[in-house]
Structure 1
Amino acid sequence: MTDTSSSPDAAAQEWGALSNLPGNPIMWVLIISELLVFGAFFLGFGAARILDVEMFRAGQAMLDLRLGGLNTLILVTSGWLAAKAVQAGHAGQGAVSRRWLLAAGVLGFAFLAVKGVEYADKAAHGIDIETNTFFTLFYLMTGFHALHVVMGLVVLAIVGWRNSVDNLETGAAFWHMVDLIWLILFPIVYLVR
């Protein structure tokens, strides 16, 4: 009897639609799970906002749109660099791919530095996680996202070290999830009045 459990057809049957996505299907399970968690955060934020619109408007007025906008630009650019790394990997250019990943990682650290400046500014004004519901949710959501940026940097480092097309696609998928979450989080927390 022949073992077909490791054949591509068997893998496609095992993972279904996930087997058609780039990278490892297990990463996609993680990504979907993380998107659901952040979705719950977004729903909770929206519900709390409905209960006290004025407090949320006052809290949003205390946020620095320039820093949030800068971080948006940083993460979108970093995501583009990660995509370039995958493109280079597909072209068999491992060294070029690593350079793109390094650049993406540098921007990930820049995002964290800007977020640190924003947190320090809030702390200097006596604003912390216990100030009110808006800032409790602000710190929980942006802090949880920052944790994902840190995890993404670890993933990018591992992918750069163990460079393969599958690893590149898997790591870039996680990094793009981090981008996507910020692209939803930024307008919800900073812009929607």
Structure 2
Amino acid sequence: MRQIASFISSVLPGKVTQRHLPGEEGVWIFIFGDMMIFAVFFSTFMYYRGENLEIFQRSQALLNINLGTLNTLLLLASSWFVVIAMEAVRQSRIKLAANLFSGAFLFGLSFCLVKIIEYSEKVSAGYTLNTDLFFTLYFVFTGVHLFHVILGLIVLSLIIRSCRNDEVTGDKIRFFEGGSCFWHMVDLLWIVLFPLIYLVD
């Protein structure tokens, strides 16, 4: 922990570095395509909410906002660990980077566990895909997002393994950057989904 704290304090002031597009171009095409799909999800949710306001408000009140908030904090913490892990990679502090990526992985895994608990609560109480339109969209949209989290965890596990087993070359760094950008996208999508599904009144 002392090593991590020291590293964070060393990078907070920041240095002016040459800017470049992180990762491979193909990763960005995938990310932008994914974000467009979720934009359709968001628009669909708001459209049907406007058409079925009473149903949506009644069903939204049944959600566990505490678990939703906890998951938001978990993903934000995970993304922060990824940011400082990438800074460690660029400074060739690979062992530290592996530990930070591992922390990000654990936060992401915790998100999955909390989401499973939340789903279990709903199903046990009798709320499923077929309950009403709100819960149909809730399970579909959060389920698709959960699938993205799982994909992100697989990418993080590959990054961690590369940190520990291989020499980190330019190609590896681009893979790390692309994987980190994907993870940040997953976080960003949840930042939109959370208020949209849990908080919009």
TM-score, normalised relative to structure 2:
0.85
Letter in 2 for 1:43: S
User: Quick check: 1:108–1:153 contact (8 Å CA) kept in 2?
Assistant: yes
- Letter aligned with residue 120 of structure 2: A
1:20 positional shift: 4.0
1:148-184 CA-partner distances (Å, limit 9, x unpaired): 0000001111122234322221111000000000000
Give distance in 1, aligned partners of 2:160 and 2:94: 9
Name the structure 1 match of 2:89.
89
> Is 2:188 the counterpart of 1:180?
yes
Q: Which residue of 1 aligns with 2:30?
A: 30
- Secondary structure of the residue aligned to 1:48 is helix
- Residue 151, structure 1, aligned to residue 151, structure 2: yes
Aligned twin of 1:108: 108
* Aligned mates of 1:77, 1:168 — CA distance in 2: 18
Specify every segment of 5 or more residues in structure 2 that has no aligned partner in the other structure, as ranges. 1-18, 164-171
2:50 is aligned to 50
Q: Secondary structure at the match of 2:63?
A: coil
Contact preservation (8 Å) 1:55, 1:134: yes
Distance 2:59 2:20 in 1: 43
Q: Take 1:135 and 1:33, find their aligned partners in 2: how far apart are those partners?
A: 25
Gaps of 5+ in 1: 1-18
Deviations 1:120-161 (CA, angstroms, capped at 9, x unpaired): 000111000111000000000000000000000011111222
Question: 2:146 & 2:182 partners in 1: Cα distance?
Answer: 14
Which is further off, 168-177 or 153-162?
153-162
CA distance in 2, matches of 1:24, 1:95: 24
Identity %: 37
Task: Provide the C-alpha distance between the structure 2 equivalents of 1:172 and 1:83, rounded to a whole number of angstroms.
Answer: 8
Provide the C-alpha distance between the structure 1 equivalents of 2:23 and 2:131, rounded to a whole number of angstroms: 42
The separation in 2 between residues aligned to 1:139 and 1:20, in whole angstroms, is: 38
Give the drift of 1:23. 1.0
Aligned residues: 175
CA contact (8 A) 1:85 1:168 kept: no
| Moved beyond 4 Å, runs of 4+ | none
Please provide the CA RMSD for this pair. Answer: 1.1
